Structure 1
Amino acid sequence: MIPAGALITGVVTLISKFFERKQVEAEGRIDIAKAETQAKVRRVLSEQEADQKWDEAQAEGSKDSWKDEFWTILLAIPLVMLFWPDPEINKIASSGFARMDAAPDWYVGAVMLAIGAAFGYRKFIKPFIEKNKK
């Protein structure tokens, strides 16, 4: 017969080893979660740094550019035409908008991309860039 003290010691040892193993497994899961989180943080910081460099490059490249002024003037023309006192000029502007509705999606997208790039709206043109990367 096994002495009671040895039996109790064996059971306690078995139970403590079980819980030690569970603790090591839990610590491993925590370490994996920490590593995944750190990788996500590094990726976000890298994207932010790339965005900042892109903004700086855009600002530097548009110092002597008239792109934003060109689009501002071009976009203001129909607005002025719509409020001009001459009804014929109003009809011309309205007719232009109706024709724009009939324009192909690729053309409207290209115009929107050009306007977004001219004004430096990275978030506006980013979906177009991401779509073409794939």
Structure 2
Amino acid sequence: MTERPRQEPPATAPRIDGRARRAPGLTLRPLATGTGLRVEGEVNVANRAYWASELGGLVRRGGTVDLELAGLVFIDAGGVAVLVRSAGRLREGSRMILHRPPSALTRTLEVMFPYLSALEVTDR
């Protein structure tokens, strides 16, 4: 039996819909205040490259990154890894604030990444 090489799914360019940016299953809307995004839908293998690109852009701008996650229904392990890596790339003194994340994400971060001081979770 021969193994086929693993193929990554094709990166899908986001569709522009007014101020919202969309990828399969995921909608990102800029927040009115500060640097950040309102996240709606799922973060998974189909849109992970887009998720990484958007978070990377926010981190490169510097300062506090606000992510409103009340509309996040699901985030897979790869999506969490992107989030953690992005927070780890923040400039010294900057932070990433996760507003109203799903409880499973909060618990994962508490258990797996308690040392990551750049990440802050809030229910506001």
The alignment's TM-score, normalised by the length of structure 2, stands at 0.23
Structure of larger gyration radius: 1
Q: Which has the higher strand share?
A: 2
The alignment's TM-score, normalised by the length of structure 1, stands at 0.22
